[in-house]
Amino acid sequence: MSSTNDPFHAVNDLLAGISAKVIVVDFHAEATSEKVAMGWHLDGRVTAVLGTHTHVPTADQRILPNGTAYQTDVGMSGPYDSVIGVQKEMVLHKFLTGMPSKFEAAKGNPKMCAVLVTCDPLTGRASAIQRIMLGE
Ligand SMILES: [Fe+2]
């Protein structure tokens, strides 16, 4: 398998060329199983593996055994009176009718999702990860 065909081999190649100790991997992917697997793949090799893309924050933040902070999805920053950021009426119209629907960004109930990772800058190992969701 070519190293450019999948993220697991590609990240091996990328890390071989990085000398920094503190490395944060934003794994922008859909499947939670792939993100969990990437956390284990990189445990002890990077400071944090943080999933993004699904817009829904997961509650599985933790420090893996070899010192990598991990969370399957950090969540979105945007309007939560919505369907992952889109006006809910537009999404419901599509689901209820099966017809294509124009999608526009919603506005209500803004929140910001993030994580706070504490690490040793000399080793790059994480010692804590905190899930954050800030409201209005
Ligand atoms: Fe995305």
Greater model confidence, 5 or 85: 85
Centre of ligand 1 from the C-alpha of residue 52, in Å: 7
Q: What is the Cα–Cα distance from 57 to 75, expressed in whole angstroms?
A: 4
In the prediction, which pLDDT does 101 show? Answer: 86
How do residues 81-117 score in pLDDT, each as one tens digit?
999 999 999 999 999 999 988 899 999 999 999 999 9
* Model confidence pTM above 0.85: yes
The three-state secondary structure class of 16 is helix
The pairing of strands 62-63 and 69-71 is: antiparallel
Say which residues have a Cβ less than 8 Å from residue 27's Cβ, sequence separation at least 6. 7, 34, 35, 38, 49, 50, 51, 52
How do residues 62-76 score in pLDDT, each as one tens digit?
999 999 999 999 999
Centre of ligand 1 from the C-alpha of residue 5, in Å: 19
Centre of ligand 1 from the C-alpha of residue 28, in Å: 6
Centre of ligand 1 from the C-alpha of residue 44, in Å: 26
Centre of ligand 1 from the C-alpha of residue 122, in Å: 32
In the chain, domain spans: 7-76+110-135
Q: What is the Cα–Cα distance from 136 to 108, expressed in whole angstroms?
A: 10
